[in-house]
Amino acid sequence: MPDISAGRLGAADYGKNFSDVHPPLSAHEAVVESDRCYFCFDAPCTNACPTSIDIPLFIRKIGTGNVVGAAETIFSSNILGGMCARVCPTETLCEEACVRNLAEEKPVRIGLLQRHATDHYLDRHAAYGVRAPATGRKVAVVGAGPAGLACAHELALKGHQVTIFEARGKAGGLNEFGIAAYKATDGFAQREVDFVLGIGGIAVEAGKALGRDFTLAGLKADYDAVFLGLGLQAVNALGVEGEEIAGVVDAVRWIEELRQSPDKSAIEVGARVVVIGGGMTAVDAAVQAKKLGADEVTIAYRRGSAEMGASRYEQELAQVNGVRILHWVAPRTVVSEGNAVAAVDFERTALDAAGRLTGTGRSVRLLADQVMKAIGQTFVSGPVEAGETVALEGGRIAVDADMRTSLAGVWAGGDCVRGGEDLTVQAVDHGKRAALSIHAALSA
């Protein structure tokens, strides 16, 4: 029988393992760190930020003791700045662009400074911004993830009445259900949802799914505009023999179960875990499996380190936590013993003369009690193809620069649109851009 069980560690170990991966800066540390910023004109860090936060300005405000003002600078561009400070891959965005790298190879710690300011503000304020006078216009937002929340907040600021329809039991989307537990501790995701809704003028109807409880045509009839922030609803299959046997789980669902459990010791994990994939989800699943007490955890990826969707920092985080990363292997068969997982057979891969990935004919077997699939998610298009259809491109919703879909009065953003990158900060940008376009259309 496979060795899969809960409660592998002592109670104190769970608290330690799932504590904040990035402890916040103290007030003194924040001031010292802010002094490292050159306050560049036309700052590369701001240009690298998908939401165009004026990073030198908010850092300067921290340095002068105006921490509330620093947070207001952040929230004016990114209302989910608190979560982005925790989960955004700053090492490949703003911090990678920091000019401090040229001389010191050590950027200003922008993410931690952003967290310092936003946490300070959330500790003292229930909301950000003041609503404009009511316009009498109603907007429906489908999906209470980062894109939907950002869109709703901006529309509420403009004086519109917003109703968010969310298929799950509560709002938050990826931030609530898909982020590693050690990245957003102490219920921060829901605290931030409450902060966003605190502006007023936003109602949330949870447990309501598009295509099941309402239709796009119905929303168009009842509301002046519609925003679709549907995210990605299905997990890609491995497409190999044995995928359906006991012990093979979707990494996304497993992470969600872990995130929602108040007792981490109740989550079952294998003694030997193989995670198949190379993105952030794969790393989040692998690291958390190790933190739950797995003896051996291996990430298996079909290409090399440079091609992994997980950033170099995330890859190093996995390795520091005892996770092995095996490159250039593709799964071929999940081997069973009885009715459960025993191993996974992989084929070694390589690039051919034309640069295409190909099998080498050589194989490797990894023993496993539990296998996690983390090879990406896909958009389920059925609900937006019924009745009046929304055009798709590459399997996702096609939008223009203002996030308009092909259907009049309907906008979309986040992972469900063509070009979505599974980043909270990009979803926020999409939601805000859509909201400004919706406002312009309703004001015309």
CATH of residue 319's domain is 3.50.50.60
Per DSSP, 105 falls in state S
Confidence of residue 192 (pLDDT cuts 50, 70, 90): very high
Per DSSP, 365 falls in state E
Mean pLDDT over 378-388 rounds to 85
Verify that 324 and 293 share a domain, yes or no: yes
Taking only the tens place, the pLDDT of each residue in 117-132 is 999 999 999 999 999 9
What whole-number percentage of the chain has pLDDT above 90? 94
Verify that 107 and 160 share a domain, yes or no: no
Among the candidates 123, 151, 172, a domain finishes at 123
pTM of structure: 0.95
Amino acid 379: pLDDT: 93
Q: State the total domains in the chain.
A: 3
| Host domain of residue 270 | 235-373
278 compared with 422, residue with greater pLDDT: 278
Amino acid 385: pLDDT: 80
Amino acid 265: pLDDT: 96
Confidence of residue 2 (pLDDT cuts 50, 70, 90): confident
Residue 9 counted as domain residue: no
Residue 323 counted as domain residue: yes
- Strand partners for 296: 272
Verify that 282 and 185 share a domain, yes or no: no
Segment holding 235, helix H or strand E:
strand 234-235
Among the candidates 373, 398, 429, a domain finishes at 373
Confidence of residue 334 (pLDDT cuts 50, 70, 90): very high
Q: What angle in degrees, to the nearest 10, is found between the helix axes of 67-77 and 55-63? A: 170
113 phi, psi to nearest 5 deg: -65, -40
CATH of residue 112's domain is 1.10.1060.10
Verify that 47 and 107 share a domain, yes or no: yes
Question: Taking 80 as the threshold, does the pLDDT of residue 386 lie above it?
Answer: no
Helix-strand-coil split of the chain, %, nearest 5: 35, 20, 40
Verify that 241 and 369 share a domain, yes or no: yes
Residue 390 counted as domain residue: yes
Verify that 388 and 326 share a domain, yes or no: no
Taking only the tens place, the pLDDT of each residue in 299-320 is 999 999 999 999 999 999 999 9
- Strand partners for 377: 235
Helices (H), 208-292: 216-222, 251-260, 280-291
Verify that 316 and 241 share a domain, yes or no: yes
Exposed, middle or buried: residue 359 (CB in 10 Å: 0-12, 13-18, 19+)? Answer: middle
322 phi, psi to nearest 5 deg: 90, 15
Verify that 258 and 322 share a domain, yes or no: yes
Question: Taking 90 as the threshold, does the pLDDT of residue 359 lie above it?
Answer: yes
Residue whose pair of structure tokens reads 């406002």 in the numeric block: 439
Mean pLDDT over 13-20 rounds to 95
Verify that 242 and 331 share a domain, yes or no: yes
Residue 15 counted as domain residue: no
CB 120 within 8 A of CB 61: no
Mean pLDDT over 154-172 rounds to 98
Verify that 201 and 314 share a domain, yes or no: no
Residue 304 counted as domain residue: yes
Mean pLDDT over 97-106 rounds to 92
Verify that 245 and 358 share a domain, yes or no: yes
Residue 165 counted as domain residue: yes
- Strand partners for 197: none
Question: Taking 80 as the threshold, does the pLDDT of residue 1 lie above it?
Answer: no
Cα separations in angstroms, 47 against 44, 146, 432: 5, 21, 17
Cα separations in angstroms, 283 against 298, 381, 390: 10, 28, 34
Amino acid 285: pLDDT: 98
Strand ranges (DSSP E) for 316-383?
Answer: 324-326, 329-337, 340-351, 357-367, 370-373, 377-378
Q: Which residues contact 221 (CB under 8 A, 6 or more apart)?
A: none
Among the candidates 78, 96, 123, a domain finishes at 123
Looking at residue 32, its amino acid is V
What whole-number percentage of the chain has pLDDT above 70? 100
Confidence of residue 389 (pLDDT cuts 50, 70, 90): confident
Residue 5 counted as domain residue: no
Looking at residue 133, its amino acid is P
Verify that 53 and 97 share a domain, yes or no: yes
Spatial distance between the Cα atoms of 206 and 40, rounded to a whole number of angstroms: 44
Residue 130 counted as domain residue: no
Taking only the tens place, the pLDDT of each residue in 215-240 is 999 999 999 999 999 999 888 999 99
Mean pLDDT over 363-371 rounds to 98
